[in-house]
């Protein structure tokens, strides 16, 4: 009983050390705060959201809304500028992915080439078309921003308060088309809201080309009309004749496996792996009549902790896979080279080494595959239970073989007496004579 209590205290102390190390990793990886995310947004731009332009038709005798005096109730509609109809939208978007590391996290940053052609119709008499194209004004960068007419001539747009504005006369019953283009960059996701401000859009077409094939659509977003993989990545197209919806078009960029979150999850799981290891090694040692002291279990726990400690700080300097392999080799070498002094090389390599490989290395490796960790651990636990039950089921734990059964296998008591060397057994045979 004292041995079990001592091993339990060893396990509890190791679990406490892992909780401290895991909490440190959470803070270092930026999961406890948004500082890293804010820094990346300041450097490479936030998730981009693009909205369509908004245009107003201002006719002679109808002042703009900002300068209009308060109208009479029966003339309220006549005094306001009319909203121009966005008759068609044709967009081409190209995304180039580049993962960037900040602290212990990878962030999916991207460059974007945006080009859109918008057509506005004027169903009434001649008017002035005032157009406002929204831009992001927080940590946003627009390179090569330009506005052109259908004939290719440039339009002088004034950018104020995160909005590009320009005006042009439009004839009665006529239409005007403009091409808006720019290059920018962002992080994590890109979104376009085709019906922002109107709730309806006509003749909408958007083609998106990416240099990556792992595309994940934003929650509650519009799925593409057609999509397919290409030689360089992925292409999707959204086409609608008339769209009445408030859902956006957008994608989430593929996330790279982050060293910090992976290391913290592996560290928090470590007490479970150590518990399995102590359980299996203890049963195997008892089955083979080998004595392992509580102090030995303490050093086993320290060697387990060495794996997570090395892994947590190696990921700052080498790749995730290299850090995992190096930490695993060091931890295995520590335990096997230590255990061979009191259980021998064979038991140290086979029973202890393989147990550590399963419950430390392989269990930790399952965290590299999102969604399969729980299943892998459950299967491993059931298999462990089955193997231990089969190994211990044959043994008569706590029972000694009766002496009478030992003597019945002897042809004569005299021959058994000659074969036995133990004093008490020899005395028992002599008394039976």
**Residue 137: which CATH number?**
2.60.40.3680
In a domain, 357, yes or no: yes
Q: Give 320's pLDDT tier (boundaries 50, 70, 90).
A: confident
With contact defined as beta carbons under 8 Å apart, do 79 and 106 qualify? Answer: no
| pLDDT over 60 at 354, yes or no | yes
Q: Which residues contact 376 (CB under 8 A, 6 or more apart)?
A: 363, 366, 369
Question: How is the chain split among helix, strand and coil, in percent rounded to 5?
Answer: 40, 25, 30
| pLDDT above 80: residue 337 | yes
Residue 370 lies in a domain: yes
Extract the runs of DSSP E, i.e. beta strands, from 211-323.
Answer: 216-217, 226-229, 234-243, 249-252
Mean pLDDT, residues 416-432 taken together: 47
Question: Using an 8 Å Cβ cutoff, are 258 and 106 in contact?
Answer: yes
Model confidence at 306, in pLDDT bands (50, 70, 90)? very high
What 8-state DSSP symbol labels residue 300? H
Task: Kindly report the pTM of this predicted structure.
Answer: 0.67
In a domain, 118, yes or no: yes
Q: Indicate whether 150 and 267 sit together in one domain.
A: no
* Distances from the Cα of 48 to the Cα of 140, 231, 285, angstroms: 8, 26, 60
- The chain-wide mean pLDDT, for the chain, equals 82
Percent of the chain at pLDDT exceeding 70: 83
pLDDT of 49 above 70? yes
The whole-number average pLDDT for the span 42-62 is 85
Bridge partners for 179 per DSSP: 117, 148
In degrees and rounded to multiples of 5, residue 333 shows phi and psi of: -65, -40
Last residue of a domain, one of 233, 252, 271: 252
Q: Where is pLDDT greater, at 372 or 385?
A: 385
**Is the domain of 272 the same as that of 308?**
yes
Q: Do both 243 and 263 map to the same domain?
A: no
Q: Check pLDDT > 60 for residue 402.
A: no
Over the stretch 218-242, which tens digit does the pLDDT of each residue have?
A: 888 888 999 999 998 999 999 998 8
Name the domain boundary from 393, 408, 424.
393
Indicate if the pLDDT at residue 333 is higher than 60: yes
Comparing 7-16, 249-258, 285-294, 373-382, the range with the smallest average pLDDT is 373-382
> Distance between CA 153 and CA 135 in Å, rounded?
22
pLDDT of residue 70: 47
Specify the pLDDT at position 98.
92
pLDDT at 73 over 80: no
User: According to the model, what pLDDT value does residue 75 have?
Assistant: 45
Q: Across 92-106, 108-122, 193-207, which has the greatest mean pLDDT? A: 108-122
Query: Once rounded to an integer, what is the mean pLDDT over residues 23-38?
Result: 73
Cβ contact 111:142 at 8 Å = no
The pLDDT value recorded for residue 398 is 55
Mean pLDDT of all residues in 82-104: 88
- Looking at the fold, whether 157 and 293 belong to one and the same domain comes out as no
pLDDT of residue 353: 92
Q: Considering only 266-270, 332-336, 397-401, which range has the smallest mean pLDDT?
A: 397-401
CB atoms near residue 292 (< 10 Å):
21
Residue 362 pLDDT exceeds 80:
yes
**Residue 164: what pLDDT?**
92
- Which range is least confidently modeled, 74-83, 146-155, 277-286, 323-332? 74-83
User: Does residue 399 belong to any structural domain of this protein?
Assistant: no
Domain that holds residue 298: 2-28+258-393
Partners of 237 in the β-ladder: 207, 226
- Chosen domain end from 219, 237, 252: 252
- Residue 116 structure tokens: 């859109």
Q: Give the whole-angstrom CA distance, residue 424 versus residue 137.
A: 95
Measuring CA to CA, how many Å separate 252 from each of 75, 99, 152, 265?
Answer: 48, 13, 34, 23
**79 pLDDT above the threshold of 50:** no
Q: How far apart are the C-alpha atoms of 242 and 224, rounded to whole Å?
A: 15
Buried residues in 157-183 as b, exposed as e (16+ CB within 10 A): beeeeebbebbeebeeeebbebbbebe
Same domain, 227 and 116: yes
> Is 69 contained in some domain?
no
d(CA 203, CA 145): 24
Among 24-28, 213-217, 362-366, the minimum mean pLDDT is found in 24-28
Rounded to 5 degrees, φ, ψ at 412 are -140, 150
What are the tokens at 167?
A: 């005006």
Name the residue among 301, 43, 91, 281 with its Cα closest to residue 205.
91
State CA 164 to chain mean position distance.
37
Please name the residue ranges forming H helices in 315-372.
Answer: 320-347, 354-356, 363-365
Residues 101 and 201 in one domain: yes
Q: Is residue 221 located within the same domain as residue 90?
A: yes
pLDDT of residue 148: 93
Span of 100-109, 174-183, 255-264, 400-409 with lowest mean pLDDT: 400-409
φ/ψ region of 371 (left if φ > 0, alpha if ψ in -120 to 50, else beta) reads: left
Picking from 365, 383, 361, 381, the residue whose alpha carbon sits closest to that of residue 373 is: 365
- Residue 89: the pLDDT is 93
Of 64-68, 136-140, 167-171, 371-375, give the lowest mean pLDDT range. 64-68
Looking at the fold, whether 245 and 144 belong to one and the same domain comes out as: yes
| Same domain assignment for residues 228 and 349 | no
Are residues 84 and 203 located together in one domain of the fold?
A: yes
Q: Do 307 and 241 belong together in one domain?
A: no
CA–CA distance, 88 with 206 (Å, rounded to integer): 11
Q: What is the domain count for the chain? A: 2
Q: State residue 406's pLDDT score.
A: 47
Q: How far apart are CA 281 and CA 292, in angstroms?
A: 9
The predicted pLDDT at position 33 comes to: 57
Residues 299 and 373 reside in one and the same domain:
yes
Given a cut of 50, whether residue 248 has pLDDT beyond it is yes
What is the Cα–Cα distance from 433 to 426, expressed in whole angstroms? 11
């Amino acid at each position: 009983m004292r041995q079990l209590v001592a091993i339990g205290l060893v396990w509890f102390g190791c679990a406490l050390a892992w909780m401290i190390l895991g909490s440190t990793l959470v803070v270092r990886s930026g999961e406890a705060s948004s500082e890293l995310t804010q820094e990346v947004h300041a450097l490479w731009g936030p998730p981009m959201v693009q909205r369509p332009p908004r245009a107003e038709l201002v006719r002679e005798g109808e002042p703009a809304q900002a300068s209009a005096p308060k109208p009479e109730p029966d003339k309220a509609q006549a005094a306001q500028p009319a909203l121009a109809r966005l008759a068609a939208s044709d967009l081409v978007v190209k995304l180039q992915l580049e993962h960037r590391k900040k602290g212990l996290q990878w962030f999916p940053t991207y460059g974007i080439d945006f080009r859109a052609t918008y057509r506005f119709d004027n169903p009434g008499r001649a008017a002035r078309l005032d157009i406002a194209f929204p831009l992001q004004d927080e940590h946003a960068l627009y390179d090569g921003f330009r506005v052109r007419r259908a004939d290719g001539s440039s339009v002088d747009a004034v950018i104020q308060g995160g909005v590009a504005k320009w005006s042009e006369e439009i004839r009665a019953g006529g239409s005007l088309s403009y091409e808006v283009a720019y290059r920018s960059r962002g992080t994590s996701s890109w979104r376009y809201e085709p019906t922002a401000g109107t709730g309806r859009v006509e003749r909408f077409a958007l083609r998106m080309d990416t240099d990556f094939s792992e595309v994940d659509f934003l929650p509650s977003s519009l799925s593409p009309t057609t999509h397919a993989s290409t030689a360089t990545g992925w292409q999707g197209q959204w086409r609608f004749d008339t769209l009445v919806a408030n859902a956006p078009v957008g994608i989430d960029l593929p996330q790279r496996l982050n060293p910090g979150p992976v290391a913290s999850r592996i560290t928090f799981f470590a007490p479970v792996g150590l518990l399995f290891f102590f359980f299996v090694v203890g049963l195997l040692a008892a089955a083979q009549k080998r004595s392992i002291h509580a102090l030995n279990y303490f050093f086993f726990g320290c060697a387990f902790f060495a794996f997570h400690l090395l892994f947590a700080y190696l990921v700052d300097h080498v790749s995730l896979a290299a850090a995992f392999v190096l930490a695993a080799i060091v931890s295995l070498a520590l335990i096997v080279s230590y255990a061979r002094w009191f259980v021998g090389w064979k038991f140290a390599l086979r029973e202890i080494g393989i147990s550590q490989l399963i419950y430390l290395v392989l269990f930790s490796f399952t965290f590299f595959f999102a969604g399969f960790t729980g299943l892998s651990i459950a299967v491993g636990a059931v298999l462990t239970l089955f193997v231990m039950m089969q190994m211990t089921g044959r043994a008569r734990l706590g029972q000694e073989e009766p002496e009478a059964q030992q003597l019945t296998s002897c042809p004569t008591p005299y021959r058994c007496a000659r074969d036995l060397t133990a004093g008490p057994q020899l005395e028992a045979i002599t008394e039976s004579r």
